[in-house]
Structure 1
């Protein structure tokens, strides 16, 4: 009887932690390295873009770009501070591009990150539409970027998006990735970069700096006018920062 009991304890354990098997370690490692970061990028992008879109939809006429600037910056800083240790806290395809170029992200993960961020942008914009009064939603064009109305504004908006995204990507790469310069205040610095970018460029380009932030509202509201600016500008900005630091 005692022998059978000993065999049972050996086989099923007696409540104490046991050394995981090789297969268990591999499965945990696979999930933590590949799946979990993408899920976090999806979640973080959803939260960030939901708050950002809602701040535009509910923005009062007397506050200008101040409310969206503060909401975007504070939301991004908060999400990075809480989730950044798992995925790096990109929540932006342009930032992921810069991070990959300087060695902060494996090339294999770049496309999965982009897909997760774009899906997060779509979910965030859709949730903002669900909780917003229909009249406010459409008055704000669903929080899609409508700053550029004519061809003459394109060059200025494109240059603004490149420069503003460079500032954001620099804050991420130097504050959170570079071993010599990174520090604990990186989430706040990155959030400030977004706030400053919207305050400075809100009336020029909208201060997007993030293709995922542009993509979600564009799909939900069906507004695609000059949408390419918010892909080309941020991605060029991220590319330039990546090449500069590399």
Structure 2
């Protein structure tokens, strides 16, 4: 039990921190570049600090991709996802206490949403592609034993998140992470197009798991 508990706690803490800082940057109106930097840098730091304990998933899409690629058991994957959602939810409700309603209400507590004129289908496609890039980098720098985990793992993943947000932020908010969307959505009661942020990231994570975990990786 203790063996499973420690990585789950690490996943909960890291996902909490990522969602708290990321959503706060949106509430604070940091701008697209500022939001990208906040998300990317925070994830890079968290992976560097806690990645050796849990693998640094901090994202149900990454965990799902790792499971599809055969790199984590179904039981542990489920425990990871629950831990991530708990951490994200705590972050969401804490943000309600930190910011006045006048600050968080206009941006739905930093919950990602579709841009003007973006359909659900387009949103799913964008989230799928962006998450595929992200999970592919996670595989190459963190999951693959021949990758660069101890050197640039956190940096590479954080930089990918920055680039994805700069591209997809105006379209979908570039969530790439169901927990990142779920936590603020739960606290704010904002569920518009929520399914987009599960279908897209999980599809992208699964595709990366198949491509890298089942084909590109060297056994």
Structure richer in helix, relative to its length: 2
Map of 2:101 onto structure 1: 134
Please give the TM-score of this superposition, normalised by the length of structure 1.
0.82
The residue number in structure 1 matching 2:129 is 163
Partner of 1:70: 37
CA RMSD in angstroms, aligned pairs only: 1.4
Distance in 1 between the 2:202 and 2:18 partners? 19
Q: Tell me which residue corresponds to 1:14.
A: none
In the alignment, which of 161, 168, 187 is matched to residue 194 of structure 1? Answer: 161
User: Which residue of the other structure, out of 200, 203, 207, is the alignment partner of 2:170?
Assistant: 203
Q: Does 1:37 align with 2:27?
A: no
Shift of 1:225: 0.8
Asked if 2 retains the 8 angstrom alpha-carbon contact of 1:49 and 1:213, the reply is: yes
Counterpart in the other structure of 1:21: none
| Unaligned runs of at least 5 residues, structure 1 | 1-29
Supply the distance in 2 between the matched residues of 1:180 and 1:37 (Cα, whole angstroms). 22
Aligned to 2:148: 182
Q: Give the drift of 1:148.
A: 4.4
TM-score when normalising by structure 2: 0.92
Measure the CA separation in 1 of the matches of 2:39 and 2:137: 15
Q: State the distance in 1 between where 2:113 and 2:52 align.
A: 34
Does the 8 A contact of 2:115 with 2:170 survive in 1?
no
Structure 2 unaligned residues grouped into runs of 5+: 215-219
Deviations 1:122-178 (A, max 9, x none): 01111122111221111221111233466x522221111000000110111111111
Does residue 1:121 correspond to 2:88, yes or no? yes
User: In terms of Rg, which structure is larger?
Assistant: 1
- Structure 2 residue 58 is the aligned partner of structure 1 residue 91: yes
Hey, which bits of structure 1, 4+ residues long, moved more than 4 A?
none
In structure 2, distance between residues paired with 1:172 and 1:35: 22
Change (3 A) 1:231 1:115: same
Q: Distance in 2 between matches of 1:137 and 1:93?
A: 25
- Alpha-carbon separation, structure 1, partners of 2:145 and 2:35: 32
